[in-house]
Amino acid sequence: MKKKILIGCSAFLLLCVATVGVLAFLLFHRVEGQYFDANGVRIHYTVEGKGDPVILVHGLAANADLNWRRPGVTAALRRNFQVIMFDCRGHGLSDRPTEPEQYGMELVNDVIRLMDHLAIEKAHIAGYSMGGFIVLKLLETHPQRFQSAAICSAGWKRPDDDRPLPNPYQPPPPEAASRDALNAGMPAMIPAFAARRGPVHVVRNWVGDKINSRTAMKALKKSAEMIAIPEEVLRNNTVPAICFIGDRDGFLPYARDLHRVMAQLELVVLPGVNHLTAPLQPAFRRGLRDFFIRHRMSEKEKMPPAARLERDERLQMCAILDMER
């Protein structure tokens, strides 16, 4: 009897050790790629696959692998596209400045710097949570650089609204059909998220503290207001866009507000999905891939500006010679 108990305990211990090992690998193992200089900050990135370039921007306190590779999004996209992922400054293998002025618009500008570094004139782009807000700002500042855009598990917050964003890990109340209903009665304050925190948020923050610098995260959050988007910019948007969000995501009211005001935007609400689990859903991965496929670039759009100009001049010259004949 004692032998059976000992064998059972040993098997359970081995299972626990194996489980911890797998979780540690998933959370902390990184696929190391290359680095480039982004105005004095070293940024880590990877490039894989062939086709139209797709840039993936991860969420707060995550990294490119944790947000995109581990859930299978990278594998789903690289069959049809050239997938470019990077660790935002303050995250992962990239440098981690501690000054608030090193974030805000610098997070947005890093995407353009990476595209310039890779000589990419135009790309598709997807951003998750914090990355979704960065993508929205890019559509304001550099719309001509993007063929299509996916805003995932994010939404729109009015620049004049100084109330906190809700905890994205808490499902919105059933009656919260919009941002105003959700925030009704909440005191004016500027923290990044409301104070209410559930166990999932606590565990997620613990993981975030292990893979990132808490000082860098605080500096980033202080600069969040710098990437707010005016309503008229959204109403005048010309880039085809889509928003994926779970119906149990605390940002859902903000996604609905975004859909209400933003031109050229589709909204896809994933049933039974929360802020943490959207990338794990086949419907999310399939929907993201199919959206980018629908908006693939023409051969003309893939050509760099200098090559397009040279080709157009050559065609124009041929047309003139044909007319003279």
Q: For 196-222, how does the pLDDT look when each residue is reduced to its tens digit (9 = 90+)?
A: 455 544 555 555 556 678 899 999 988
CB 97 within 8 A of CB 90: yes
| DSSP track, 243-290 | EEEETT-TTHHHHHHHHHH-TTEEEEEETT--TTTGGG-HHHHHHHHH
Q: What is the DSSP string of 22-56?
A: HHHHHHH-----EEEEETTEEEEEEEESSSEEEEE
Separation in Å, CA 238 to CA 1, 142, 154, 271: 73, 11, 19, 28
Q: What is the pLDDT of residues 20-73, one digit of tens each?
A: 343 444 555 799 999 999 999 999 999 999 999 999 999 999 999 999 999 999
Measured distance CA(15)–CA(270) in Å, rounded: 33
Looking at the predicted structure, is the pLDDT value of residue 279 above 70? Answer: yes
* Calpha distance 194→166 (Å, rounded): 5
Token pair 């860098």 in the structure block, residue:
216
The pLDDT assigned to 171 comes to: 93
What's the mean pLDDT in 222-243? 91
Cβ-proximal residues to 251 (8 Å cutoff; 6+ apart), any chain: 129, 153, 154, 155, 165, 166, 168, 245, 275
d(CA 142, CA 139): 6
Given a contact cutoff of 8 angstroms between Cβ atoms, the answer to whether 71 and 279 are in contact is yes
Helices (H) and strands (E) in the chain, counts: 13, 8
Contacts of 137 (CB under 8 A, 6+ apart): 105, 108, 227, 229
Model pTM?
0.79
Query: Could you give the strand order of the β-sheet that contains 123-128, starting from the edge strand earlier in sequence?
Result: 34-38, 41-48, 81-86, 52-57, 123-128, 146-152, 241-246, 265-270
pLDDT higher at 2 or 179 = 2
What do you get for the CA distance between the two ends of the chain, in Å? 102
% of the chain beyond a pLDDT of 70:
72
Q: Looking at 113-221, which runs of residues are DSSP E strands?
A: 123-128, 146-152
Three-state DSSP state, 99 = coil
- What pLDDT, in 10s, does the model give residues 93-130? 999 999 999 999 999 999 999 999 999 999 999 999 99
d(CA 66, CA 301): 31
Q: Exposed/middle/buried for 245, CB within 10 Å: 0-12, 13-18, 19+?
A: buried
